[in-house]
């Protein structure tokens, strides 16, 4: 029988890092208003903290122009110390979220490229993974970390390499990435993330019952997931998209030097400048096409 | 005086034997001090007080030296990386591999580390292939052919671990040369020799073999376990590989794993080519098909070749029916970070931090750890030259070695558009 100290950080203690999509261009045209969405999420976060005394929750907001930490349940600052943690969760989180959204909007005013449709998921994923590494370094007794992405905006293809880097790093550290995607079409990035890291991908059908989806699918800790039937991944699309037209292809040509994908035979690689079929010599530097 | 390390410094084998018989060898508590001399990790500061060595700062300094040397190599010569590699690992199973200077024996340690290397190799180079060669009794044999599945290599390696006879470098190189001659021209040909012996017993002129390998553009690297040998050094110099000798087990592990990431590719060695590859879709869970690798009916969870529609069980693989290489986009994406590396971060000088006019962030941008030393003075940190965010030393190491994304650059859209407009 395990002795008392090791029972304190048993395998059902979790650290949940929530990546909250705050893209105003998505929420303004979505069926569920952002305020109702927040009420579902806040109740869900409260329930996580209630499930176990040592559970921790960290919330990172994914904006269009920036990402930032919004809430950390393990930090000692709370405005209303006597009433315990629950009211502090709501007031702190909402205040910081409000400040974040205003700042994000200011940053976007100088943008001349037009309204972005995607939010900076790669940034918040990278920040979440750095935080989780810090938790791993804190010693042998630590909660089991996982990441939950609450995303609605479409995938930004310019973030592909960064998101894949984050996914592989999460896979190595054995951190599952769960996703609850609320947009219209399925997000290929999040499907791949959940498949590769062993997380759960769900696209809720009825959004006014969002709290129910969150608490039945995403609230369980990693140890208890072995006993539950969670939604299985159906039809993850692993096809690549060609670098020239950004179309998904199922058969293509790969440059052996830089591994860029093309749909048709070319004489020269547009990414690294290598001429095919001839030994390479000094080639002029080509621009990085991400 | 017994200096606590369990050894007696009065020489003479007989005396040691007598003492061993009397005391039954070093005591348990003495053994712990034989390896870790904890008193050596204390230092005196200026006023004579003891303080422990700050391992974190030393580790970080070592890491920064390594990063700087790597980045200076990459920027001076526009070095590309060899991403499609065909690597043979030659393991020496001669008599010298049974030496016990690596515990329990050199052979066992090498086998364990090669297993870890195989997994790391396929993790970092999903499109590459690996083969194993063993040298025993003066004869070199292929343990496994060039292939892409880590499990088959590990199984063959761990099958029989026994050592005997002499080691022959020339026979091993001849065997490997025969195999590597046949691979396509866009692949990078590499050999890694794990050499324990101090001699080589060759049937002919090894210099000729070395010239043959050099002409076939095979890059040979050697890791020695005993001492430095001229012939190994000559081989590595001629073919452009690296030669290192391991000092102890952790050093050996570091040296072997250094060969897992793609080496800087010498441009003339491989011809650039367009390779036709397929990206199969994963079959639905309830579909039933006969798989082409096991020749039996399987339910669900396989991949369908886009050209001939045969079912395969795992990726990456080559379709047995039509020969098309089948991979998935994450396999390619694993190598993209070599092409788009994160710039090394700059150290923020303490003079800048101590200047009261400069307001530096109190916490690391990535992990929110406090960057202040006890006493509220700004502590050591690094800064990304592109997005100007401050990071702690541990995040610096994690970002450059594992994550390959700067959280600051990814979290600000304007830093992206600024970079795009510069190019």
User: For position B72, what pLDDT does the model report?
Assistant: 63
Instruction: Look at residue B79 in the predicted model and tell me its pLDDT.
Output: 53
> Using the beta-carbon criterion (under 8 Å), do B186 and A256 form an inter-chain contact?
yes
Strand B80-81 and strand B264-265: pairing?
antiparallel
Highest mean pLDDT among A232-236, B64-68, B124-128, B177-181: B177-181
For residue B121, what pLDDT band results from cuts at 50, 70 and 90?
A: very high
A264 CA: distance to closest CA in chain B (Å): 10
What is the reported pLDDT for B361?
Answer: 83
* B330 near A CB under 8 A: yes
**What SS3 state is found at B419?**
helix
Q: What is the pLDDT of residue B187?
A: 85
The residues, ordered by sequence, that sit 6+ positions from B338 with a Cβ below 8 Å of its Cβ are B81, B83, B261, B262
Given a cut of 70, is residue A278 above it in pLDDT? no
When CB atoms are compared, the residue of A137, A239, A280 closest to B281 is: A239
Residue B380: what pLDDT? 82
Give the mean pLDDT of B394-403.
Answer: 90
Q: Check residue B269 and give its pLDDT.
A: 66
- Residue in the structure block whose two tokens are 């970079």: B419
Given a cut of 70, is residue B110 above it in pLDDT?
A: yes
- Give the model's pLDDT for residue B109: 92
CA-nearest residue of chain A to B395?
A130
Question: Could you say which residues from 68 to 97 on chain A have a Cβ atom under 8 Å away from some Cβ of chain B?
Answer: 68-69, 72
**pTM for the whole structure:** 0.81
Picking from A110, A122, A131, the nearest residue to B367 by CB comes out as: A131
Give the residue ranges of DSSP H helices in A114-251. 121-137, 160-173, 188-197, 210-213
Does residue A1 carry a pLDDT above 70? Answer: no
Specify the pLDDT at position B244.
Answer: 93
pLDDT of residue B256: 93
Would the CB atoms of A287 and B272 count as touching at under 8 Å? Answer: no
Q: In chain A, what residues touch B275 (CB-CB under 8 Å)?
A: 253-254, 256
pLDDT score of B9: 47
pLDDT bin (cut points 50, 70, 90) of residue B127 is: confident
pLDDT band for B149, please (50, 70, 90 cuts).
confident
For the stretch B173-228, pLDDT in tens is 999 999 999 888 888 899 999 999 999 999 999 999 999 999 999 999 999 999 99
Which pLDDT band, with edges at 50, 70 and 90, does B422 fall under?
very low
The rounded distance, in Å, linking the Cα atoms of B30 and B163 is 33
pLDDT exceeds 50 at position B418: no
Nearest CA in chain B to A260: B332
CA distance B349 to chain A (A): 23
**Spatial distance between the Cα atoms of B367 and A134, rounded to a whole number of angstroms:** 6
How many Cα atoms occupy the beta-carbon half-sphere of B229 within 13 Å?
A: 19
> Can you tell me which residue has the tokens 């040298």?
B135
Q: Tens digit of pLDDT for each residue in B357-367?
A: 777 888 899 98
Confidence of residue A92 (pLDDT cuts 50, 70, 90): confident
Looking at chain A from residue 234 to 273, which residues have their Cβ under 8 Å from any Cβ of chain B? 234-241, 249-259, 261-262, 265-266, 269, 271-272
End-to-end CA distance of chain B: 69
Residue pair B60/B397 in contact by the 8 Å Cβ criterion:
yes
Segment 162-181 of chain A within 8 Å of chain B by CB: 162, 164-169, 172-173
Position B6 confidence tier, pLDDT thresholds 50, 70, 90: very low
Measuring CA to CA, which residue among A261, A125, A117, A243 is closest to residue A193? A125
| pLDDT at residue B230 in the model | 94
A·B CB contacts under 8 A: 208
Q: Are A151 and A119 in contact (CB under 8 A)?
A: yes
| pLDDT band of B423, cuts 50, 70, 90 | very low
A66/B contact by beta carbon, under 8 A: yes
Number of Cβ atoms within 10 Å of the Cβ of A225: 16
Question: Average pLDDT for residues A36-54, to the nearest whole number?
Answer: 92
Give the highest mean pLDDT range of A248-262, B240-254, B265-279, B317-331.
Answer: B240-254
Inter-CA distances, B183 with B121, B128, B323, Å: 19, 12, 15
Q: Of B338 and A210, which is predicted with more confidence?
A: A210
pLDDT in tens, B236-257: 999 989 999 999 888 999 899 9
B168 with B135: CB under 8 angstroms? yes
Give me the mean pLDDT over the A208-232 stretch.
Answer: 90
Q: How far apart are CA A193 and CA A216, in angstroms?
A: 20
The answer to whether B363 faces chain A, any CB pair under 8 Å, is: no
Nearest CA in chain B to A255: B274
Average pLDDT of chain A? 83
- In chain B, residues with a C-beta closer than 8 Å to the C-beta of A161 are 333, 336-337, 340
Listed range (B33-42, B215-224, B323-332, B345-354) with the worst mean pLDDT: B33-42
Nearest CA among A72, A73, A87, A23 for reference residue B363: A72
Residues 181-240 of A with CB under 8 A from B: 192, 196, 232, 234-240
């Amino acid at each position: 029988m395990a002795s008392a100290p090791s029972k304190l950080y048993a395998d059902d203690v979790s650290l949940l890092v929530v990546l909250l999509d705050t893209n105003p261009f998505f929420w303004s045209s979505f069926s569920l208003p952002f305020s109702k969405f927040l009420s579902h999420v806040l109740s869900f976060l409260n329930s996580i903290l209630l499930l176990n005394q040592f559970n921790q929750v960290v919330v990172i907001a994914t904006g269009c122009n920036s990402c930032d930490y919004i809430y950390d349940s393990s930090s000692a600052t709370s405005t209303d110390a006597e009433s315990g943690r629950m009211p502090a969760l709501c007031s702190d989180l909402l205040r910081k979220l409000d400040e974040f959204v205003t700042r994000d909007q200011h940053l976007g005013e100088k943008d001349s490229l037009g309204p972005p449709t995607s939010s900076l998921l790669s940034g918040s994923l990278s920040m979440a993974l750095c935080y989780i590494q810090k938790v791993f370094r804190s010693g042998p007794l630590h909660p089991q970390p996982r990441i939950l992405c609450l995303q609605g905006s479409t995938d930004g293809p310019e973030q592909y390499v960064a998101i894949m880097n984050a996914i592989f790093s999460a896979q190595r550290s054995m951190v599952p990435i769960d996703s609850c995607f609320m947009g219209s079409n399925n997000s290929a990035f999040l499907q791949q993330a959940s498949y590769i890291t062993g997380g759960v991908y769900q696209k809720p059908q009825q959004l006014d019952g969002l709290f129910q989806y969150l608490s039945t699918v995403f609230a369980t800790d990693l140890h208890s997931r072995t006993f539950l039937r969670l939604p299985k991944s159906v039809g993850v699309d692993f096809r690549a998209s060609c670098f020239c037209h950004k179309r998904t292809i199922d058969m293509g040509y790969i440059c052996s030097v830089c591994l860029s994908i093309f749909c048709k035979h070319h004489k020269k690689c547009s990414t690294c400048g290598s001429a095919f079929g001839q030994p390479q010599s000094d080639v002029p530097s080509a621009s990085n096409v991400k | 005086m017994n200096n606590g390390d369990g050894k007696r410094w009065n020489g003479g084998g007989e005396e040691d034997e007598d003492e061993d018989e009397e005391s039954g060898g070093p005591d348990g508590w003495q053994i712990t001090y034989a390896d870790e001399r904890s008193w050596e990790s204390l230092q005196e500061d200026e006023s004579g007080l003891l303080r422990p060595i700050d391992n974190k700062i030393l580790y970080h300094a070592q890491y920064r030296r390594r990063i700087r040397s790597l980045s200076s190599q990459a920027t001076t010569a526009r070095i590309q990386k060899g991403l499609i590699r065909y690597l043979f690992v030659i393991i020496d199973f001669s008599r010298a591999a049974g030496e016990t200077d690596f515990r329990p024996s050199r052979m066992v340690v090498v086998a364990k580390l090669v297993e870890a290397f195989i997994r790391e190799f396929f993790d970092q180079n999903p499109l590459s292939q690996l083969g194993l060669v063993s040298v025993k009794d003066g004869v070199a044999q292929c343990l496994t052919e060039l292939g892409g599945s880590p499990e088959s290599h590990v199984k063959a390696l761990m099958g029989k671990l026994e050592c005997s006879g002499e080691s022959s470098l020339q026979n091993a190189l001849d065997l490997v040369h025969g195999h590597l001659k046949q691979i396509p021209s866009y692949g990078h040909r590499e050999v890694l020799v794990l050499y324990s012996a101090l001699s080589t017993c060759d049937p002919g002129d090894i210099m000729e073999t070395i010239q043959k390998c050099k002409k076939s553009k095979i890059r040979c690297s050697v890791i020695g376990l005993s001492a430095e040998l001229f012939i190994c050094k000559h081989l590595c110099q001629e073919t452009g590989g690296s030669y290192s000798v391991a000092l102890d087990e952790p050093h050996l592990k570091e040296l072997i794993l250094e060969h897992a990431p793609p080496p800087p590719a010498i441009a003339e060695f491989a011809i650039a080519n367009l390779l036709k590859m397929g990206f199969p879709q994963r079959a639905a869970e309830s579909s039933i098909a006969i798989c082409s690798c096991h020749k039996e009916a399987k339910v669900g969870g396989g991949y369908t070749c886009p050209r001939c529609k045969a079912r395969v069980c795992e990726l990456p693989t080559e379709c047995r029916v039509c020969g098309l290489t089948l991979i998935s986009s994450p396999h390619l994406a694993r190598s993209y970070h070599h092409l788009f590396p994160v710039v090394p971060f700059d150290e923020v000088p303490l003079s800048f931090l101590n200047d009261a006019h400069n307001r530096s962030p109190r916490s690391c941008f990535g992990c929110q750890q406090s960057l202040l030393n006890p006493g509220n003075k700004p502590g050591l940190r690094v800064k990304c030259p592109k997005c100007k965010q401050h990071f702690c030393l541990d995040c610096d190491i994690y970002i450059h070695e594992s994550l390959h994304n700067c959280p600051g650059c990814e979290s600000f859209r304007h830093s992206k558009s600024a970079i795009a407009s510069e190019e």
